[in-house]
Amino acid sequence: MIAVQLSALYAGIFAVVGVMLPYWPVWLASRGLTPDQIGVIAGAAIWSKVIINPAVGHLADGLGRVRPLMFWIATLALTLYTVLSQLTSFWAILAVAVLATGLHGSLNPLTEAVTIRAVRNQGVDYGRARLWGSLAFIAVSMGLGPLLDRWGAAPVVWVIVGLLACVALTTLGLPDSPPETKAEPGGMRRLLTERGFLLFLGAGGLIQAGHATYYAFGSIRWLDAGLDGRTIGLLWAEGVVAEVFLFLYGKKVLARVPPLALMGLGALSGMIRWPLMALTADPWVMALTQILHAGTFGAAHLGAMYHLAKTIQPDLSGRAQALYSAICMGAIVGAAITLTGPLYARLGAGSYVIDGVWSALGGAFVVILVLVTRRERPPVIRVPGHGT
């Protein structure tokens, strides 16, 4: 039952992403915002993870009760999106949108923490739960297009509100954390002084930073190369489908491949994928490179989640997930995307070569982490004096 509830939660959370990624800028433009203003809002939303996610993760571990926290976060987020529907001023939209997107973004690491606990204690297959998020992303991102063709951008914010309402209701069915998992103070500091954990963050962040040009300018690059919208949509969908297949068989893969080896495979995939995308935009070559999304994102993320499950004590899982989201997916990826703007303006598709460099550096961090782990064989990371 828990696996079904988690699958539904992932579907709801990533369905919102399926609206936000392709259509949120369209809604912002419909409010009269300029491209520069839209860029500021999008960038601020990414950087908000650096502050909001650790704060929420710390609160979750401190309370020892994740379910009510997730419910109220989803409820507050949908309330803020409702407020956004009435705003037209840039500064008002910026203030409310950053908080709304930041709160929605904090639901993912909380869900990951609950899922990893279920993996550890109940044998839940992480990949099969997570794949429903990817499927929901595909369904919503492709299905919303015809609606916008007919009604314009106005429904975007209301679709987000409806989906967040579904997320809030889904959280009510989750099992809550037992009181004995309530965290002791000092966990965040303990994690940030642990060499192995810092190496893990460097590896995960750099591998994901390899997607910077793809996320920011992938469609623009393909349009400039003469690909039509239908082909571009199919290429994006193909990448997510490849990731879904990995998640579907992830448990079987992990029975044979250690988590850090999966992260290394993600780095290697990036070292192949991104230079190829710098060289050509031929649709048949792109169709082949999109399969590598199963490595650059899928394998790297799956390996990261199972590495955390093996090395982090349950009462630190909320903060560990929050730090992974804030530092890897927030600070590091945000910095790479920010850097990609001037790089793409100067190098064009050549900026994909820099993404290959990020992947290679991420792979180097993985190798160092493997060597450190083998030499030290560290125990599960704990707060000193607690749980021993």
- C-alpha closest to that of 111 among 130, 127, 125: 130
Collapse the DSSP code of 177 into the 3-class scheme (helix H, G, I; strand E, B; otherwise coil) and give the result. Answer: coil
pLDDT tens-place string over residues 54-103: 888 777 766 667 888 899 999 999 999 999 999 989 999 999 998 998 89
* Rounded-to-integer distance, Cα 321 and Cα 112, Å: 7
CB 381 within 8 A of CB 312: yes
Query: CATH number of 184-388: 3.50.50.60, 1.20.1250.20, 3.40.50.1820, 3.40.50.1240?
Result: 1.20.1250.20
Predicted confidence at residue 114, as pLDDT, reads 84
Backbone φ and ψ for 381, nearest 5 degrees, come out as -65, 125
Q: Which residue carries 């989906």 as its tokens?
A: 163
Predicted confidence at residue 176, as pLDDT, reads 63
Contacts of residue 195, defined as CB under 8 A and 6 or more positions apart, other chains included, come to 372
Residue-by-residue pLDDT tens, the chain, 388 positions: 788 889 999 999 999 988 887 777 778 888 888 867 876 787 777 778 788 888 887 777 666 678 888 999 999 999 999 999 999 899 999 999 989 988 998 898 888 878 878 887 788 888 888 889 989 988 887 777 777 777 877 888 999 999 999 999 999 887 765 543 445 556 677 888 888 999 999 999 999 999 988 887 787 788 888 888 678 778 888 888 898 899 888 888 988 999 999 999 999 999 999 999 999 999 999 999 999 999 999 999 999 988 988 888 777 777 788 788 888 988 898 888 878 878 888 898 999 999 999 999 999 999 999 998 887 655 454 544 444 3
Predicted confidence at residue 181, as pLDDT, reads 44
Predicted confidence at residue 229, as pLDDT, reads 66
Contacts of residue 32, defined as CB under 8 A and 6 or more positions apart, other chains included, come to 88
Instruction: Using a pLDDT cut of 70, give the percent of the chain over it.
Output: 91
Q: Which superfamily is assigned to 1-182 in CATH?
A: MFS general substrate transporter like domains (1.20.1250.20)
Predicted confidence at residue 301, as pLDDT, reads 92
pLDDT tens-place string over residues 271-326: 999 999 999 999 999 999 999 999 999 999 999 988 988 888 777 777 788 788 88
Predicted confidence at residue 127, as pLDDT, reads 83
- C-alpha closest to that of 254 among 299, 295, 293, 292: 299
Plot region of 186 (φ>0 → left; ψ -120 to 50 → alpha; else → beta): left
Q: Which residue carries 């949108």 as its tokens?
A: 97
- The residues spanned by each domain of the chain are 1-182, 184-388
Domains 1-182 and 184-388 share a fold: yes
Six-digit token pair at 223?
């349009």
For CA atoms 258, 264, 270, 276, the dihedral sign is negative
Predicted confidence at residue 349, as pLDDT, reads 92
